[in-house]
Amino acid sequence: MREIALVYLDRSGGLQKFVHDCKKYNDSKQSYAVYRFIISINPSDIAELDATLGNYILHNPIQAAQIFQTVCFIAIKTLSLIEQLQTEAQISILLKPTHLPPLPSYVLSLSAFPFNYTSQRFYMSEGIAIAMGTVTKYTQGARFLCTEETCPFSEGIHLPGATESATVRNDFVCSLCSSPLQEDMKFRVLGDKQIVEMIDAKVLNALKGYSNDKSHFRIQTFTVFLR
């Protein structure tokens, strides 16, 4: 699947954009703990190229991102794109699909039962934004040092996490020697986040006085985190 991912990046123009993004990192005088790349993908094109990889991206995007992470790391080392890059764990890949298949199973509807949204895959959700919070900062990535000087990880290790609490904590231990890890604060990476309160678009029918042959119903808002 790594070869297919590389072929897709080359054909779609994603590889050229990736090289351009690497050049901006390499020319920057700032030190980075994490090198973040956004890769736009067309699920239909990938499925036609390789059905297995296309299905993997749609239903296991976190694991699929690791495939692209390895491909990008090999490309950086082979082409010497970022001199400061040390380990593959420093690369953060965000797969951004251009669209999802127009099928009911890909639509996130919080008004439908049962709520079987346990898989960490892509969903589409449509609604009305009724409130928006201010843009605040969150920890996007961090670098940790092993407190044991003789340990290879004393030079630094990046710990990725899906949430802020999984990215920055004070109870991380080294996977090699089990010594405590200490964050290198000057390498902390911050990003922007915003909280949006949304409500299902079906509320418009209720406000217009349309009857849906139900004696009573309930509509509840849901919170979306934009990062």
Type of residue found at 72: C
pLDDT score for 70: 94
| Separation between Cα atoms, residue 55 and residue 49, nearest integer Å | 11
pLDDT score for 210: 59
Q: What is the pLDDT along the chain (227 residues), one digit of tens a residue?
A: 899 999 999 999 999 999 999 999 999 888 787 888 999 999 999 999 999 999 999 999 988 999 999 999 999 999 999 988 888 888 889 999 999 998 888 888 776 766 777 778 888 888 899 999 999 998 877 778 888 888 877 766 665 556 677 778 888 888 888 888 888 887 788 889 999 999 888 787 777 765 555 656 677 888 999 98
| Separation between Cα atoms, residue 106 and residue 103, nearest integer Å | 6
pLDDT score for 8: 94
pLDDT score for 58: 92
pLDDT score for 158: 61
Write out the DSSP string of 33-90.
S-EEEEEEE-HHHHHHH-HHHHHHHHH-HHHHHHHHHHHHHHHHHHHT--TT---GGG
Quote the pTM value. Answer: 0.76
The conformation of residue 180, written as its DSSP 8-state character, comes to: B
Nearest of 122, 129, 94 to residue 108 by alpha carbon = 122
Nearest of 164, 205, 197 to residue 183 by alpha carbon = 164
- CB contact set of 165 (below 8 Å; sequence gap of 6+): none
pLDDT score for 166: 72
HSE at residue 224, side-chain half, CA atoms within 13 A, is 19
| Residue 213 CB neighbours (<10 A) | 4
